[in-house]
Structure formats: structure tokens, C-alpha cells
Amino acid sequence: MKKNLFSLVIALLALTTCAVAQIDDAKIKELRQKALQEMKSAPNDAYKDYYKTLHSRMPRKLDAKQNVNKDIKETNSSKAPLDVPADMIYPGEFDQVQAIMMTWPYITRTVSGNQYASQIFEGKGVPDNGGNSLVPVYSVPDVSNSTFVKVFRDLANGIQQNAQVWINVWNAEDTTIIKNHMAAKGMPLTNYRFFVNQGNSFWYRDCGPVAFYYGENDSIGFMDFEYYGGRPLDDLIAKRVGEQADFPVYTSTIEYEGGNILVDGVGSLFTSTAIYSLNANTYGLLKEDSTTPSGYIYQYKAPLNQLQVKDSLTHLMNLNRCFILPELNFDGGTGHIDLYTDMVDECTFVSAKYPDVMANLSDAVKIEKNMDTITSKDASAPFSQKYYNTRIPLPAKDNGSWYSSQQEYHGYYTRSYSNHTFVNGAIMQPVFYTATSGDIAGNQAAIAKMKQAYPGYEFIEIDVREFDGSGGAIHCITKQIPAENPVRIYHYPARWQNTTNNPATQVRLTTLAQNRSGIENAKLYYRTKGQESWIEKPMSIFDTNIYEVLLPINPTIERDTIEYYISATSNNGKTMTKPFTAPKGYYTFIYGTEVNGNGDYAGIVCMEDIKALNLGEFYPNPAKDITKIEIPQGALSEIPVKVINLKGQVLASTTISKGQTSFEINTSSMRSGYYWVILGDNTNVAVKKIVVVR
């Protein structure tokens, strides 16, 4: 009898619990419907303060005591490093993509009181009144007429015209809501994929996956760095999307945001010192904990010193070089490099240029010093050439005036033209004007300058003034998903040549072209400026996957311009060009007896100083553990040396000292295969091939 009574009580409790759950679900459904209905008549700036307060690029630090139990979570440097593929290639953002990932902005409110809130865990968050305890919350996608949501609409529409747009939503039913909203605005989604994962905010550059290629088939993998501790759901996005898209995910406990990651595609990383402070503290991710008054705690993580951080990045990203540059102090608080620079291709930077009235301010000086560091001869690009940099103006205020102080810019603007996103042949470009408002002349002049720096790209302009003061814009809310079956073309362009000093009748252009199936052919297309048709010229195999061609010029002309681009077709039938936008975009080579330039011509071509050394060949070749080359007369000066693989990755950099009569390479850790040894720099280069066997 007692047993039956006990069972009845349990059953009644279960029914009661189920009924409560149904009531809660019904209530939340009702609240969501009311919120969506409210949005239809909400003014354009209805949620402006909400986004400024609760969705800044850096989450506010919650008042949760840090757990002292180090067993909960720890990034302990004594643990074995994460096992990652040894041949990872992190493509540049300028490389071909299959998709761009983003999310949608959400409005979160408390279930009780309907107060604005931040979602921390699924269905749980903290209100915006400064409270710190978890309460039930619900969230709806913002489908109002606000100018803030217009940014996301324009972005999704611009992306889908050039690649698939991946949109992560927090609830499955939100897919229909967003599709209906886009269609109602005349931008129906036609090239898209939805993912359903709960989230915290929309800064997907920082929390999203960092994609790479690996293996002989250029398979795609995701690196999942740890995100800001205050957004534990967003920290899971890379892992969950990777699993749903069927890409392997490698999860690291190094705290790092994507906005501070800039790579050249061949093994170099450019980032800022902000990564040091992130990993120096002991605050990890938030974790639910019912034993605390707030309902959560910050997990413990062991602090890392600067050497540990740099070594970890080198391992996790398969780096040959890691440039950790001084962070800015007045960029909205992130210290991210994407607020002032990006790369057009693997050897060309574009950086922000402050106006003369602000040129002596600390951040303006720091940007110039950082770019000088990058473009110095000690920071050579692929094939031992110097990086090149061009500058674009800093955006002004709406009335065209400049900021009264760095503090004003930091707190209320943080505008940047560099904070854009490549989508194959297009650029999703932040601007700060419309046809009737803002600094129209200043913005249009800046975009004209950018079109010169990014030849051939379609600029899809998106007014992002709603993001003013948040520390980011277009780049910060998007993430590239690289293309399958990449055809890589690495080329350092000819920029200028004075034929009085070098009266050559032809210029040697070289490129490295690579695909998993091999390259069927590589071609040069060129014309004199003013001509409409292109002249096609086959490129010859210098050896393996390096191709060369001689570009004819007339050394007696005072000044002339040649336009050119390179095309490569793989054995499996895929054709790519360099620049990516060719023939609409192309390289410009200026030459003549009166030409002076501000860049270096570069091609893999042996000049007299290197030839004078009478270099032999590496021996033994094939090599197992060591190979060596003789320098009979001794090096005339220091000679930079790089070792690269057939995919263009720089595996080692060193220097031959002046007077040195031989040079040795330790090949014991290198896989079987072909490698290039590049001796010299700029136009004074020799190339030797070595083979490693096991």
C-alpha cells in the first residue's frame, strides 16, 4: 500500500512538473510573439541603447567570485600540447571562400518583468539594471525597422551574392522569422545555410572558428580558441558549427579573438600584445553553479607568460613567424589589429592613416611604427621580398571634422575603413554616410582610394554608424569559411623599375601555383595601359610548382605602364587568377628611364652578387638528416635564407654570415618531399631545390 501511494505521489509530482514546464513554454511563446509584434511599430532607434549597453564588443565583467578549485579547468602549460596537424595552412582572408558565417542580432528580456537582459546560459541571463544573479530570459531575433538591423540585412544580402551566407540562429523557429523579414525587405535569402545554436551576442569574428587546410587533400579543419569568459555560449560556436558542418575541430585553452588574427597564408601571423594580457589572468569561462548566490562562477585558468603564449600560437597555427605588435590604447578596448590594418594579398598591407592634426598622437605614432616593423627588411614576405604597405585615411566625424582627443575617438567612434570583409570578388565595406547624411565627400574620397588599393573588387557599402563606439564593425561580425579544393597562387608583383639603372628588355615574373591534383598550366596575361585586349603568354616550369615568364619591356621609354595578371588551372579543372579579381583587377607595373617608385620589384631571379658566389648544389640531395652547400669564395655579406615547401609555407628562416664558406640545413624533422631553399632577398635571389627522404 505504501509503495503504491509513493508511486502515486511521484506520478503526481511528475505531472505537476510537466504542467509547469508547459506553462513556462507557453508563457515564453506568448512573450516572444508580443515582442515580435512590438517590433513592427518600433522606431528606428528603439533598441540603440540596448545594443550599446549589452552588446559591446567586449562583454561586461560580471560580479562572480572566481572558483579556487583548480581542478575545474586549467590551461596548464605542463600538459602535452594540443595534437594538431603538422602541415596546417591558415589561408589569408583574401583567398577564395565557400561561405561567410554570421549571426543575427537578438533582443533578450527577462521572463519576469520583461526587462532588457543579457543571455549568459541558454534561457538564463542577467538584467541590464546591474543585477548579477541569473534569472529566466527569452530572446527573439531583431526584425524591426531599426538602422542597426539594416546592417545585418545588407550584410547577409551582400554575402549571398558572392558566396553562401551561414547564419547561426538561437532557435529553430527563428529561421522562418528571418527569411520572412529578408523577403519583406526585398532581399530574399537564396544562397544560405542556417545553423541553430544558442548564443550571447553577434561578434563572430572573435568567437567563430579559425579555419585551416591540412593534409594532402587540403582538408578543412577548425581551430577553436577560448573566447571572452563572459560569453560561454558564443565560446561553443566554433565547436558546434564545425561538428554540424562535418569539419574536425581542435579546441585550445589559449584565449584569443579572431579580430586580432591577421595571416598572410604562408605561415606568418600579425597580432597585438593584447593576447598577452588575456592569457596572463586566471579568469576563464563562466560556468553555472547553483551553490553560489549568482548561480555561476568564473572557472580557473592557469596564467601563461609571454613566451608560453608565443610558443602556443606557433604550434597551434603552424607559424614560421609571429609578429606580436604593440596594441593601441584608444581603439574601443580590444587591442585588435583589425581596427587599423588588413592585407590585400600575401605581401601587401593596407593601413589607416591619421590626419596631420592627429599624427603626433600616441596611437597614430604606434600604427606607423607597427607598419614600419612589418615592412622592414627583417619582416620579409614570401620568397624573401619585403612587404608593401599603402595607407587609407581614417574616417572623420559626420561633419568632416576630426576628433578632439583619442579618448573621444575611443569612447564614441572607433571608425575604421579597414574593418571590412572579403567575399571572393567583393568587399563588404563599412562606410559612415548615406546620400543625405554624414561626411559624404570624405567617405567617397576614401572609397576611391581603397578601390585603387584593392583593384577590381566590388565594394558593397554598408553604413555602420550604429556601431560607433562599440569597438568594431563589419569584419568583427563575420567569419570566412575557406573554399574546397583551393588553387593557391603566390606571387610578389613587379611594381616599378627604373630602366636607366637597369636597362633590361624584359622582366622575369615568377609564381608558385599549387593544387592537390597538380597544376595543368599557368599563364601570364598582359597589356600596355590603354589597350583593351590581353596578350596571353604561357609560363614555364622553373621546377616543380614554381613557374616563370619573361615580360617584354622597352628600356628606352621615359615612362610606361604594363597591366598584368596570372592564371593557373589545376589538373582537376579549377582555374584561379592572381589577383583574385582578374581580369577586372590586375597588377600595375610602371617602368622607364624616368621612373622612380616606392616599392621593390621582386621575382625569383638570380642577380650578379649571388651569381658571383659560384654556389654549388646541396649535397647530399636527396637528404635524410643534413644537407650542405659550399660557398667557395665566402659570402660577400649576410645572406637571408628561407626554406619553403611546395605549398609556399615558410618552414625555416636563417642567415648566412659574411665570410661563411658553407651552409648546412638540418632536415631531420622534415617530411619526405620536395623543398625550396631561397638564398638572398629582393632582386638578389638564388633558388635551390632539395629533396628529403625518410
- For residue 302, being part of any structural domain is answered with yes
What confidence score (pLDDT) does residue 136 get? Answer: 95
Q: What is the dihedral of CA 415, 167, 91, 547, to 10 degrees?
A: -110
Please report which confidence band the pLDDT of residue 320 belongs to, taking 50, 70 and 90 as the band edges. confident
CA atoms within 13 A on the CB side of 14: 6
Give yes or no: residues 457 and 548 share one domain: no
- For residue 245, being part of any structural domain is answered with yes
Distances (CA, A) of 202 to 121, 430, 503, 662, 670: 15, 16, 56, 56, 41
In which order are the strands placed within the sheet that holds 650-656? 650-656, 639-645, 673-681, 684-692
What confidence score (pLDDT) does residue 641 get? Answer: 86
pLDDT tens digits, residue range 251-274? 999 999 999 999 999 899 999 999
Judged on CB neighbours under 10 Å (0-12, 13-18, 19+), 520 is middle
Distance CA(546)–CA(212), nearest Å, equals 23
Please report which confidence band the pLDDT of residue 682 belongs to, taking 50, 70 and 90 as the band edges. low
3-class secondary structure for 436-472?
A: CCECHHHHHHHHHHHHHHCCCCEEEEEECHHHCCCCC
Give yes or no: residues 196 and 318 share one domain: yes
- For residue 449, being part of any structural domain is answered with yes
Residue carrying the nine cell digits 604561357: 538
pLDDT at 684 over 70: no
Give yes or no: residues 378 and 434 share one domain: yes
Domain final position from 592, 622, 648 = 592
pLDDT at 15 over 60: no
Distance CA(555)–CA(507), nearest Å, equals 11
Q: What is the CATH number of the domain that holds 627?
A: 2.60.40.3080
pLDDT tens digits, residue range 495-552? 888 889 888 899 989 899 999 999 999 999 999 999 999 999 999 987 778 899 999 9
What confidence score (pLDDT) does residue 578 get? Answer: 97
Give yes or no: residues 452 and 497 share one domain: no
Question: Is the Cβ–Cβ distance between 485 and 574 less than 8 Å?
Answer: yes
The set of cell numbers assigned to 173 is 523557429
The range of the structural domain enclosing residue 239 comes to: 54-61+87-105+142-482
- For residue 670, being part of any structural domain is answered with yes
Give yes or no: residues 574 and 613 share one domain: no
- For residue 549, being part of any structural domain is answered with yes
pLDDT at 9 over 50: no
Query: Does residue 579 have a cis peptide bond before it, meaning omega lies within 30 degrees of 0?
Result: yes
pLDDT tens digits, residue range 541-565? 877 788 999 999 999 999 999 999 9
Query: Does residue 393 have a cis peptide bond before it, meaning omega lies within 30 degrees of 0?
Result: no
Distances (CA, A) of 101 to 155, 156, 464, 682: 11, 9, 18, 38
Please report which confidence band the pLDDT of residue 250 belongs to, taking 50, 70 and 90 as the band edges. very high
- pLDDT (average), residues 50-59: 89
- For residue 603, being part of any structural domain is answered with no
The set of cell numbers assigned to 257 is 579573438
Domain final position from 482, 502, 536 = 482
- Which residues partner with 588 through β-bridges? 563
Distance CA(241)–CA(221), nearest Å, equals 11
Domain final position from 447, 482, 517 = 482
- For residue 9, being part of any structural domain is answered with no
pLDDT tens digits, residue range 617-664? 899 999 999 999 988 878 877 888 888 887 777 788 888 888 888 999
Distance CA(44)–CA(46), nearest Å, equals 6
Give yes or no: residues 494 and 514 share one domain: yes
Please report which confidence band the pLDDT of residue 79 belongs to, taking 50, 70 and 90 as the band edges. low
* Per-residue burial over 124-147, b = 16 or more CB atoms within 10 Å of its CB, e = otherwise: bbbbbeebeebbebbbbbbbbebe
pLDDT at 608 over 50: no
What confidence score (pLDDT) does residue 596 get? Answer: 76
Give yes or no: residues 206 and 316 share one domain: yes
Question: Is the Cβ–Cβ distance between 624 and 667 less than 8 Å?
Answer: yes
Distance CA(285)–CA(614), nearest Å, equals 59
Considering its fold, how many domains does the chain have in total? 3
Q: Closest by alpha carbon to 150, among 78, 48, 245, 229?
A: 48
* Phi, psi of 400, deg, nearest 5: 85, -5
Give yes or no: residues 379 and 511 share one domain: no
Give yes or no: residues 184 and 251 share one domain: yes
Give yes or no: residues 541 and 639 share one domain: no
Give yes or no: residues 644 and 680 share one domain: yes
Mean pLDDT over all residues of the chain? 89
Distance CA(161)–CA(169), nearest Å, equals 21
Q: What is the dihedral of CA 574, 578, 584, 588, to 10 degrees?
A: -160
Please report which confidence band the pLDDT of residue 11 belongs to, taking 50, 70 and 90 as the band edges. very low
- For residue 45, being part of any structural domain is answered with no
Kindly give, in sequence order, each residue whose CB lies less than 8 Å from that of residue 316, ignoring residues fewer than 6 positions away: 81, 82, 84, 223, 250, 252, 254
Please report which confidence band the pLDDT of residue 232 belongs to, taking 50, 70 and 90 as the band edges. very high
pLDDT at 418 over 70: yes
Give yes or no: residues 618 and 560 share one domain: no
Q: What is the CATH number of the domain that holds 583?
A: 2.60.40.10
Distance CA(143)–CA(180), nearest Å, equals 9
